[in-house]
Structure 1
Amino acid sequence: MTDQADQTIKVLRAGLDEFAALVNGFTEEDLARVSGASEWDVSQVLSHLGSGAEISLAALDRALSGEGTPQMDFIRGVWARWDGMSRAERAAEVVGVNEALVSRFEGLDEAARRDLRVELWFPVPAPDVAGFAGMRLSEFAYHTWDVKVAFDPAATLSPEATELMADGIASLIGFAGKADRLGGREAAVEVRTTAPERSFGLEIRDAVRIADVPGAPDAVLAAPAEWWLRLVSGRHAPEHTPDGVRLTGDALTLDDLRAVFPGF
């Protein structure tokens, strides 16, 4: 998995460089704008990205030293510190703490990238470096979009992040999808994405899950992969949906799919 780790770390670096250039130009008015996460202003997204980077760095450092996962007292303290910052303070600190995390990833040798396991502060198996960096990339990519879309309604996830995230979305579907939002209806959807090109099934029954392409789908969704990823994460409002998104078939509408994936 070292190749996957290497590529993910490179994409994290490219994303951070773009993010830093964006944040460094923000004014107080920019920081107060409503973000793509509608309950947060831009500075609150920066707070989330800052605290997440600080906690992730602690987890990585503790894995390297064999100390285990960060404790909740530490994590709550990090959240409280970022919550208590002014907007300007969040903007001033967010790039530096993300730089520290990405630099630590970049400094891992081949053995660590292959063998290290990072114990997390919630009950899941400890991921390897590729998996842990992938989790951070997903969080960073989505929340960078939350920032960018405050200034550009047509903002998209980066192509490099989309390429890496596209094949890992299945593990999120069961958590993100809410089958009961269809009011008892069921559907088998064929999903076709571009950039990268993928074809697979989406079952909405007792739960929501990725499946094989259905032989007789109730609907066919054709969309850029980056919008598919945003759909699953709840970043799918009509004003942020590109013209290339098409849903055919009478069983579902795009608004039905938006309801199934309300965000988190």
Structure 2
Amino acid sequence: MTERTDRIIAALRSGHDHLAARVRGLAAADLTKGSGAAEWDLSQVLSHLGSGAEITLAVLEGALDGSGPKDMDFNKSVWARWDAMSPAERAEGFVPANEALVSRYEELDTQTRENLRINLGFLPTPVDVATAAGLRLTEFTLHTWDIEVAFDPAAVLASEATEPLLDQAGLLIGHLGKADAVDGRPVRLAVRTTDPGRSFGLTLDEAVALGDEPAEPDAVLSAPAEWWLRLTTGRHAPAHTPTSVTLTGAALTLDDLRRVFPGF
């Protein structure tokens, strides 16, 4: 478990260093460009990441000192402060806010990384550091893509984050997927990814779930692992889908899968 935690924290560091450098290079006009998150400009994505870093750090400190998570009033106060910032202030504030969170994760010793349990406030039980940091890595990596795609339609997720995120994809798949998007038709899909190479199954029935690859799938999806992760989070428009993505079988189409995963 510690090895997984270490990889996630290392990916948070490389992701931060990359995005911080990217943000420092943005012109003022860039901050109001539309992002990959349809309702936000780039500064609003940075606001979300900056406020999220503050809240996540407060939750981590609460686990470390035993005080527990902050209440919703705290979260609302953080969001309100970031919402009130100008685009330039959001860009400037994001870097130290996220640096503080990543540095705090890096400071955790081996025993703490293994044994600490964190009450996130929205899950039924406290989780380990790998799960908590992994959820932050999911948010951070996807919203970094939202910024990158504003300048490059062929942008991909950070390679350092892809494997850790693939390992935890099942954690949120039931929440992200909408099984009724295919009119209640049960479908067993084989998913085969590259970079890294994995094979597993996606079941669309009363719920959406991951499992072993079915012996006789109704369809087979082959795709880069980073695109599979983008598919499940709604970042899957045809303009951002590489030609290496293929779906064989008559049970459903790529557009069906896009409806299953509308994103957030």
TM-score of Structure 1 vs Structure 2, range by shorter chain: over 0.9
Q: Is 1:141 aligned to residue 141 of structure 2?
A: yes
Contact 1:233 1:263 in 2 (8 A): yes
CA positional deviation for 1:123 = 3.2
Within 5 Å, give how 1:9-88 maps onto structure 2: 9-88=9-88
Q: Which moved more, 1:241-250 or 1:178-187?
A: 178-187
Could you say what secondary structure the match of 1:89 adopts?
helix
* CA distance in 2 between partners of 1:155 and 1:114 (Å): 34
Specify every segment of 5 or more residues in structure 2 that has no aligned partner in the other structure, as ranges.
none
Partner of 2:209: 209
One-letter amino acid matched to 2:235: R
* CA distance in 1 between partners of 2:201 and 2:128 (Å): 28
Contact 1:219 1:247 in 2 (8 A): yes
One-letter amino acid matched to 1:117: R
CA positional deviation for 1:117 = 1.1
CA positional deviation for 1:228 = 0.2
Q: Which moved more, 1:113-122 or 1:173-182?
A: 113-122
Within 5 Å, give how 1:139-178 maps onto structure 2: 139-178=139-178
TM-score, normalised with respect to structure 2? 0.98
Partner of 1:231: 231
Q: Which moved more, 1:189-198 or 1:117-126?
A: 117-126
* CA distance in 2 between partners of 1:240 and 1:114 (Å): 38
* CA distance in 2 between partners of 1:129 and 1:216 (Å): 37
TM-score, normalised with respect to structure 1? 0.98
State how many pairs are aligned: 264
Within 5 Å, give how 1:107-126 maps onto structure 2: 107-126=107-126
* CA distance in 2 between partners of 1:124 and 1:207 (Å): 20
CA positional deviation for 1:140 = 0.5
Specify every segment of 5 or more residues in structure 1 that has no aligned partner in the other structure, as ranges.
none
Q: Deviations over 1:44-78 (max 9, x none)?
A: 10010001000000011111111011111111100
Q: Is 1:259 aligned to residue 246 of structure 2?
A: no
Partner of 1:132: 132
CA positional deviation for 1:186 = 2.2
Could you say what secondary structure the match of 1:154 adopts?
coil
Q: Which moved more, 1:76-85 or 1:203-212?
A: 203-212
One-letter amino acid matched to 1:237: A
* CA distance in 2 between partners of 1:77 and 1:89 (Å): 17
Could you say what secondary structure the match of 1:73 adopts?
helix
* CA distance in 2 between partners of 1:14 and 1:29 (Å): 26
Q: Deviations over 1:104-157 (max 9, x none)?
A: 111111221111111112233211111111111111001100111011100000
* CA distance in 2 between partners of 1:184 and 1:63 (Å): 42
Q: Structure 1 residue runs of 4+, over 2 Å off?
A: none
Contact 1:141 1:158 in 2 (8 A): yes
Could you say what secondary structure the match of 1:223 adopts?
strand
Could you say what secondary structure the match of 2:117 adopts?
coil
* CA distance in 1 between partners of 2:205 and 2:32 (Å): 41
CA positional deviation for 1:184 = 2.6
Contact 1:45 1:147 in 2 (8 A): yes
